[in-house]
Copies of this chain bind each other. A is one copy, B any other.
Amino acid sequence: MNIPEQILEMGRRAHRAARTLATLPSNSKNRILTAMADAITKDGDAIIAANTRDMTAGKAAGLSGALLDRLLLDSARLGALTEGLDRIVQLPDPVGEQLGCTKRPNGLLIRKVRVPLGVVAVIYESRPNVTADAAALCFKAGNAVILRGGTEAHATNTAIWEAMVRAGTTAGLPPDAIQLVPTTDRAAVVALLELDEHIDLIIPRGGESLIRTVAERSKVPVLKHYKGVCHVYVDRDADLEMARNIIVNAKCQRPGVCNAMETLLVHEEVAPRFLPRAGEALQSRGVEIRGDERTCRILTDAKRATKADWSQEYLDLILSVGIVTSLDAAIDHIERYGTHHSDVIVTDDEEAARRFTDQVNSATVYVNASSRFTDGVEFGMGAEIGISTGKLHARGPCGLPELTTYKYVIVGSGQVRQ
């Protein structure tokens, strides 16, 4: 079989497995997940040995330090991975949840019931923990999953997958419920994106270019997790001490992630008081500031921001800073340059907070808190498969319920339409 035929066959098998998975009871799913977590612990040495081979090959191929760090799986990270699986066991099963129920005047009982999506394909880059994580989340939500990891992590991914499937199968995992694409050839990805007959959703996890490529070429719906150009707006009526803590956290606590702040907007009335203190706090933590003209008159050692800065996701200790004349100007700026991911207002004025949360068209809008909380675990979802930057189906952090759809189940007693 050539690669497209191989992928088609995987799709067909996944499709068949999905029928069995859709009605698998919660306790069976949890028993299987527990067996899989135990197997990863038990096979830890073999998995780490496989990872060592990947690391050696990666170093020889000249992968960057950042990439090698993402690729590394040591015993601490392996422990975190199995703990993640145990948390997924604890989460409530979304399948079968009743989302609505109406009795119509003609006696029809219409129930809206949560059901799995069917088949999910996850296309990811170097982090091997995604293999376990994504498989477990898709499985718990009753979906068959096809995994396609990065070339550089292939030995590690295969070792994790083999451990999970072997132990899972003994515990009752249906055949083909969790498949790993055996080849690292890119033709396999292209074939997956064409398989709208058998795959219901594709989730790309990785950098912007991976997500863009998948979104542009896919015939299958894609859960897009694009970049976050997140803003903090310090209002005229902000508690400036609180504002300083929030911006330091939003920028510095983990600058390389999508919910970190990239642009700070400050109301002109508080800028002269706020910016010197904020600038000092940021610069003492190594943050490079790129300000607009008025900001640079206050922070005289700041660089001047170019127009490109306002839509830049730095993912680094760099921050663009602008002074705005009003709340409306701040909202306009965010709507114009932002990516509708996570945006914050710091204010004690309830009316300003209400207008900001009403008018800023982002998946998550905050009043008086750091943007860094946009995350499935922080939201109480227990785990996340990604953060959707689209508006259709799911928005913001996506957990188990976002890996499902619904059907209407209607029970009658012979009703016909007049």
On A, residues with C-beta under 8 Å from B are: 19, 22-23, 102, 104, 108, 110, 115, 117-118, 200-201, 221, 239, 242, 245-246, 248-250, 253, 335, 353, 357-359, 361-370, 372-374, 378-380, 390-393, 395-396, 405-417
Contacts and interface: CB of A to CB of B under 8 A. Distances in A.
Contact of A365 (B246, B361, B409): B409
Given A200-B392, A363-B407, 10 more contacts: A22-B359, A23-B359, A104-B379, A221-B392, A248-B416, A249-B416, A366-B410, A366-B412, A370-B416, A392-B405
Contacts of A361: 19, 22, 115, 118, 407
A331 to B, nearest CB: 9
Contacts of A365: 407-410
- Describe A's contact surface by its main secondary structure: mixed
A108 B373 contact: yes
Contacts of A239: 414
Contacts of A19: 335, 359, 361
A387 to B, nearest CB: 11
A332 to B, nearest CB: 9
Contact of A110 (B380, B413, B414): B380
A378 to B, nearest CB: 7
Given A117-B391, A359-B19, A391-B200, A367 B410 contact: yes
B117 A364 contact: no
B368 A416 contact: no
Contact of A372 (B110, B373, B413, B417): B417
Contacts of A357: 409
Nearest to A220: B392
24 contacts: A22-B361, A108-B369, A117-B392, A221-B221, A245-B414, A246-B414, A362-B407, A364-B407, A364-B408, A366-B410, A366-B411, A367-B410, A367-B411, A368-B411, A369-B410, A369-B411, A369-B412, A369-B414, A373-B410, A373-B417, A379-B408, A391-B405, A392-B392, A392-B393
A16 to B, nearest CB: 10
Contacts of A373: 108, 410, 415, 417
A414 B368 contact: yes
A23 to B, nearest CB: 5
A379 B101 CA distance: 10
B104 A378 contact: yes
Contacts of A406: 395
Contacts of A390: 221
Contacts of A364: 407-408, 410
Contacts of A115: 361
A358 B410 CA distance: 12
A372 B222 CA distance: 32
A370 B118 contact: no
Contact of A407 (B110, B395, B411): B395
Q: Lowest 9 A-B CB distances belong to which pairs? A: A369-B412, A249-B416, A372-B417, A242-B414, A393-B393, A391-B405, A369-B415, A392-B393, A364-B408
Contacts of A413: 242, 368-369
B23 A358 contact: yes
A110 B358 CA distance: 15
A392 B335 CA distance: 26
Contacts of A110: 379-380
Contact of A417 (B22, B108, B249, B414): B249
B363 A246 contact: no
A22 B358 contact: yes
A359 B221 CA distance: 23
A405 B395 contact: yes
Given A379-B110, A408-B365, A253 B102 contact: no
